[in-house]
Structures are given as structure tokens and as C-alpha cells.
Structure 1
Amino acid sequence: MDSVSLLSFLAVDLLLVCVPGADWAYTIAAGLRGRSVLTAVSGLVAGYALHTALAVAGLAVLVASSPRLLTALTVAGAGYLVWLGWGVLRRPGVPGAGEALDASGPRVFLRGATISGLNPKGLLLYLSVLPQFLTAGGARLPVPAQTAALGLLHMACCAAVYLTVGALSRALLTARPVAARAVTRTSGAAMLGIGAFLLVERLATL
């Protein structure tokens, strides 16, 4: 794996990370809850750290070769997104209403880790995209080390993009409670819609 492969992966990875999805929705919602942004993003990154560890251990190949296991993970992730999105729609966050959530840092962290850990887009990256940038023969680094390097690069991209999104949503919407509520509801609807679509799509293949 050379610098060209790293730069190519970085370009593709940034494109995927910058596409709004469940991670974005959760980060925006956290941005409206004050200091929970860093904790929420740390949780999201931790979920991808788990993906990276599993990929390095070779378990990603096992998941990819087992349609039932892949389906179970996808359904679990989609179901969790539906549940979380419905909760956000029922109780949209507004600026100044996040102190109670901030006081429960472990819960914010765990929710973020669950979202990214079960995120089908994350599964797609580690099962389909990342392997294309690995060099099996004649490489300076063994495949597990290459996998770890690309996984760490993805985690860094996620941290940079999501912290920016959370900070911007907080800065731009703090003084606009009506807009903040609308954005939060949109984020909740996005999570619910993405989850419902993935559930229907995956269950239709059974």
C-alpha cells in the first residue's frame, strides 16, 4: 500500500463521510445539546474502532460470507435507527434543553457507538470499499496492518467531519430555537426513514 492508495482511499472515504446519514443526524441533534457534541462524536468514532478491530481480526470477511449474519446486523442497525429517530421526533431537542443529556455522558457515548457500530454504511465501507485499497502481495505492510491504517484514517475523517458538523449546528442554531427544532425533527425523520428503508430492503430479500 503506497501513498497513492492512501490518498485515493482518503478521497473516497471523505466523500462517504460527508454524505448526510444517521451519523450526521445524531451529531446535529447532539450539537443542539451543548457540551454533548464531543461525547457523541467520541461514541461514533468508537463504533468505527470496533469495525476496524473486527476487520483486522478477519471477522469482516466472515460477516461478508454469511448472508444471514449480515442480514441480522443490518436489521438490528435499521431497527435501532427507527427507534432512535422516532424518539427524536417525539422529543426534538432545542438549545438550552440538553443539560440533562450532558449529565449522562456514558449514555450519549454508548448511543453514538451503537449507531455507528450498527450503521449499514459502515458495514459497506469495511466489507466492500476498504478491501479494494489493500495490497496482498509484495507490500511493505501485512494486510492486517494495512487494514488498521485505513481504519484509523476513516476514524480520523469521521472525527474531523462530525465535530465540525456538531460545532456548526450548535453555533448557527443556538439563537434560533424554531429552526433548531425543525432541524432536529428533520434529523429524526432522516434516521427513521433510513432505518425503515433498510428494514424493508433487507427483509424483502429474505
Structure 2
Amino acid sequence: MSWEFLLTALVVCLAPGIGVVYTLSVALGQGLGAGIWAALGCTVATLVHLGVALVGLAAVLHSSAVLFQAIKYAGVAYLLWMAWGTLRGTGGLQVEPAAAQPISRLVGRGIMLNLLNPKLPMFFFAFLPQFMAPTDGPMVMAELGAAFAALTFATFVGYAALAATGRQTVLSRPQVMAWLRRAFAASFAALGVRLALERA
């Protein structure tokens, strides 16, 4: 495994996206523990997409415009629903002091968000092969994908820890909380719009 792959994968993981926004909002609202469970859910979805790529379904998704569009718009709808819930301060994504959500719900939402993101299988289909030799088999792809998933989890936990560090300071200021809630809602909505404009 090359350092070029690890560096490129780290940059991809650090780039703010659906998983980062979800993990940050959960960590701010419910603390580091909840943020770690959210990060785990996002990572599990990454592993599912890796499995799909390994059996070749990513190629099918890439070649089927109808399938791509169906998954894409399901993801858009889910992101807009998350934006609306965050803006209203309801559900597991309220960016305010909140009663602990069940672990299954935190993980489940992370999985759902990334499962409905058709860009992930496209990522595995287009990104990983760049770091593979023509003679490499599925085991090499699995190794690279597992490394990417591990980097994803570590990066998201880092984001959660960062959010949890300043959590009490942020939560003690209602005006800041109101703006944060709007910012997270806008982020989910913007991600939904960007996904809607994504081409297969």
C-alpha cells in the first residue's frame, strides 16, 4: 500500500461531506460518545459500498442511469428531511443539549445517510483502481478499501472530538446554537442540492 494512496485517501476523508456534517452535529448535540457511534455508522456504510464494488455492482450502478437516479433522489430526499429536522431542532440531529439517543438510531442514521449516497460506490469504482496494478485481484481492492474505511472512521472520530471539546462553550450560548442549527440545516440542504445535480 503506497503512501500516495494513504495521503489521497486522507484528503478525501477530511473533505467535509454528508458523514462529516452528521458526525459534527451529533457530537455537538450529544457529546463525544454519540459522535463516535455516528462515525461508526458512516464507516459501516462505507464498508457496505466497498462490498458492493467488490462484487461488481458498482459497474452496474455506473452503467445504469435509472438505478443511479433512483438512489440519488432517495438520498436527496433523505438529506432534505434531515435538514428540515435539524432546522426545527427535532430528532437525533438537534444541535442542542439532548437526551441520549439509542446507539442503534445513531448508527442507523449514519448508515442510511451514506448508503443513499451514490457517490460512494462511484468513488470505489473510480478511485481505488488507480492504485492497483492490472494483475491485482479482489484482495488488493479489499485491502485498500479497508484502509480507506479505517481512515474514514479515524477522521470522523477526530471531527467528533473537536466538536465535543468546545461543546459546553457552544451550548451555553443560545444565539450561537440557533446559528449552528441553521448552519447544519443549510449544510444538509446544500449537500442534497449538490447530490441532485450529480451526473452518473
Provide the TM-score with structure 2 as the length reference: 0.87
Sequence identity (%):
29
User: How many residues are paired up?
Assistant: 192
- 180-189 vs 79-88, which moves further: 180-189
Q: Does 1:10 align with 2:24?
A: no
Which structure 2 residues correspond to residues 144-155 of structure 1 after superposition, within 5 A?
A: 144-155=138-149
8 Å contact 2:87–2:185 — kept in the other structure? yes
Whether the 8 Å CA contact 2:50–2:121 is kept in 1: the answer is no
* Deviation (angstroms), 1:73: 1.6
- In 1, distance between residues paired with 2:115 and 2:161? 23
Residue matched to 1:96: 97
* Residue 13 (structure 1) shift: 1.3
Select 1:170's aligned residue among 164, 168, 191: 164
* Other-structure match for 2:105: 107
Q: Paired residue for 2:22? A: 26
C-alpha displacement of 1:136? 2.0
Q: For structure 1, which segment, 117-126 or 32-41, has the greater mean C-alpha deviation from structure 2 after superposition?
A: 117-126
Which range moved further: 25-34 or 69-78? Answer: 69-78
Could you list the runs of 5+ residues in structure 2 that have no partner in the other structure?
none
Alpha-carbon separation, structure 1, partners of 2:119 and 2:13: 9
Shift, 1:197, TM fit: 3.0
CA RMSD of aligned residues (A): 2.0
Rounded Cα–Cα distance in structure 2 between residues aligned with 1:127 and 1:72: 19
C-alpha change, 1:158 and 1:189, in structure 2 (3 Å) is same
Q: Provide the C-alpha distance between the structure 1 equivalents of 2:151 and 2:86, rounded to a whole number of angstroms.
A: 26
Distance 2:56 2:23 in 1: 30
What residue in structure 2 maps to residue 76 of structure 1? 74
Question: How far, CA to CA, are the matches of 2:182 and 2:165 in structure 1?
Answer: 18
The answer (yes or no) to whether the contact 2:41–2:109 under 8 Å persists in 1 is yes
- Return the letter of the residue paired with 1:88: T
Deviations 1:77-122 (A, max 9, x none): 122111112211111634532x242xx1111111001112222442
For 2:168 and 2:96, how far apart are their aligned partners in 1? Answer: 5
The 2-side partners of 1:123 and 1:78 are apart by: 16
Matched, 1:187 2:151: no
> Shift of the alpha carbon at 1:9?
1.8
Letter of the aligned partner of 2:82 in structure 1? L
Conserved? CA contact 2:68–2:118, under 8 Å: no
Matching residue's letter, 1:197: R
Give the 3 Å change call, closer, same or farther, for CA 185–120 of structure 1 in structure 2. farther
2:153 corresponds to: 159
Aligned CA distance change for structure 1 residues 166 and 17 (closer, same or farther; 3 Å):
same
The answer for unaligned runs of 5 or more in structure 1 is: none
Stretches of 4+ moved more than 6 A in 1?
none
